[in-house]
A = this chain, B = another copy of it.
Amino acid sequence: MVKKILKFGGTSVGGIKRIQHVANIIKKEYNSGNQIIAVVSAMSGKTNELIDFSKKISDDFDKREMDVLLSTGEQISCALLAGALIKLGINARSWLNWQIPILTNGQHTNARIVNMNTSKINSFLNNGVAIIPGFQGISENGDITTLGRGGSDASAVAFAKLFEADACEIYTDVDGVYSTDPNKIPVAKKIEKISFDEMLELSSLGAKVMQSSAVQTAMMYDIPLEVRSTFTDRNGTKIFEHQNIDYSKSVTGVAYSKDDAKITLIGVEDRPGVAANIFEPLNKSQINVDMVIQNISSDSKTTDITFTIKRIDLSKTTEILKNNQKIKYKDISCNDKVSKVSIVGAGMVSTPGVTFRMFKALAEESINIIAISTSEIKLSVIIDEENTLKAVKKLHTIFDLD
């Protein structure tokens, strides 16, 4: 007998007809002889509605009560899905965070699941389908806690581990991970199998599909995942360890980010601790720094440091840099119309010439590279934003992804 965690996202349960459809998916799996634990998100829109309520009261709404508020969203989905299954003649029941209980650590609105009592549900699985709310648990002192946005994915992975499930399937509104954005590049192809770290590096594509920290957890505990669409019967994308994947292609996908800005500090004093001095105040102001590249400057006593941030943070960032007494530099250069294009692939390590082929391809399109950053399975370049789609299309073609 196979024990499966099936997780259904907000759009998958975003209406009564959809909940009934999900009930039919579960019924089919259950009647095939599987043990089923369904993990559900709040109906799409519900969480935002509740957040809007809280914002009308306070921008700094009490976090303990925020968790009490938000957790109702998944509770509603649980009850409706259980009711829909019962209507189909399947024995099903909702198990609420405190009824199990699901134990969490950490802060309100940002907790993580550390343990849960699995015995009652394991007994129940022989006779019925268990429906569990994602995104939530209770703290040591019995308060409701939530896991933060997208936390239902984290719940599903944690449950897969704690229940020692044989499969963890993430049902969502896309049918898998694509080799690039299918909305912009029509030749994009669904990836059948991908490794955890590729999935993480493709986060700009994968973020629409699954929450990164849930993928990290799955990687840590080696829990194979499958991402698939609630709305089609097609296979989704399987996410595995490297060694289980046979790489026929060097590059798995082409990702890109938009709304980036690039800052270069020219002629920075080259001494230990200077990078920390630059980035600490940015971190304090919750500015998310993405790529960081350091070059030796023309004069060998100084260095140039380039990094990228979200465009929206640009003026705040330059202000912080200019007011930073701890750092010295000759000049600051900004470009607020850049994008990052990355090729990702666990097969890159063993394939010579990938870097060269990428640069050559961009040169053929007369695309200037502003900065380069590489890791074992990813190669990113910063280019002018207007060239983004042209670059992505070209790279998608030359790496045989079309």
A78 to B66, CA, bound (A): 11
Closest B residue, CB atoms, query A133: B68
Q: With a CB–CB cut-off of 8 A, which chain B residues contact A80?
A: 53-54, 57, 65, 69
B72 and A58 within 8 A (CB): no
Q: With a CB–CB cut-off of 8 A, which chain B residues contact A50?
A: 76
Interface residues of A in 1-35 (CB under 8 A from B): 16, 19-20
A84 to B57, CA, bound (A): 6
A374 to B54, CA, bound (A): 53
Using an 8 Å CB-CB cutoff, how does the interface string of A67-81 with B read, 1 for contact, 0 for none? 011011001101110
Q: A69-B76, A72-B72 are in contact. Are A57 and B87 (CB under 8 A)?
A: yes
A86 and B98 within 8 A (CB): no
A122 to B72, CA, bound (A): 26
Closest B residue, CB atoms, query A43: B53
Residue from A53, A57, A94, A98 with most neighbouring chain B CB atoms (10 Å): A57
- Give the distance to chain B from A232, nearest Cβ to Cβ, in Å: 23
Q: With a CB–CB cut-off of 8 A, which chain B residues contact A99?
A: 98, 142
Q: With a CB–CB cut-off of 8 A, which chain B residues contact A83?
A: 54, 57-58, 61-62, 65-66, 69
In the assembled complex, A96 has its CB within 8 A of some CB on chain B: yes
Copies in the complex: 2
Closest B residue, CB atoms, query A58: B87
Contact of A57 among B19, B68, B75 (CB under 8 A): B19
- Give the distance to chain B from A155, nearest Cβ to Cβ, in Å: 18
Q: With a CB–CB cut-off of 8 A, which chain B residues contact A93?
A: 64-65
In the assembled complex, A56 has its CB within 8 A of some CB on chain B: yes
Q: With a CB–CB cut-off of 8 A, which chain B residues contact A58?
A: 83-84, 86-87
In the assembled complex, A144 has its CB within 8 A of some CB on chain B: yes
A103 to B57, CA, bound (A): 32
A173 to B181, CA, bound (A): 54
A335 to B141, CA, bound (A): 63
In the assembled complex, A338 has its CB within 8 A of some CB on chain B: no
- Give the distance to chain B from A68, nearest Cβ to Cβ, in Å: 4
- Give the distance to chain B from A57, nearest Cβ to Cβ, in Å: 5
In the assembled complex, A111 has its CB within 8 A of some CB on chain B: no
Q: With a CB–CB cut-off of 8 A, which chain B residues contact A76?
A: 50, 53, 69, 72
Q: A84-B57, A99-B142, A142-B99 are in contact. Are A79 and B75 (CB under 8 A)?
A: no
Q: With a CB–CB cut-off of 8 A, which chain B residues contact A82?
A: 62, 65, 68
Q: With a CB–CB cut-off of 8 A, which chain B residues contact A62?
A: 82-83, 86-87
- Give the distance to chain B from A267, nearest Cβ to Cβ, in Å: 49
Q: When A and B form their complex, which 4 residue pairs have the shortest distance between CB atoms, in order from nearest?
A: A69-B79, A72-B72, A68-B79, A16-B56
Between A and B, 24 residue pairs with Cβ closer than 8 Å are: A20-B57, A50-B76, A53-B76, A54-B80, A57-B80, A57-B83, A57-B84, A58-B86, A58-B87, A61-B83, A62-B82, A62-B86, A65-B83, A65-B86, A66-B79, A68-B75, A68-B79, A68-B94, A68-B96, A69-B79, A69-B80, A72-B76, A98-B98, A98-B99
Interface residues, chain A, with chain B CB atoms under 8 Å away = 16, 19-20, 50, 53-54, 56-58, 61-62, 64-66, 68-69, 71-72, 75-76, 78-80, 82-84, 86-87, 93-94, 96, 98-99, 142, 144
A62-B87, A65-B93, A71-B75 are known; give 17 further A-B pairs, CB within 8 A. Answer: A20-B57, A53-B76, A54-B83, A57-B83, A58-B84, A58-B87, A62-B82, A64-B93, A65-B83, A68-B78, A68-B82, A69-B76, A69-B79, A69-B80, A72-B75, A75-B75, A98-B99
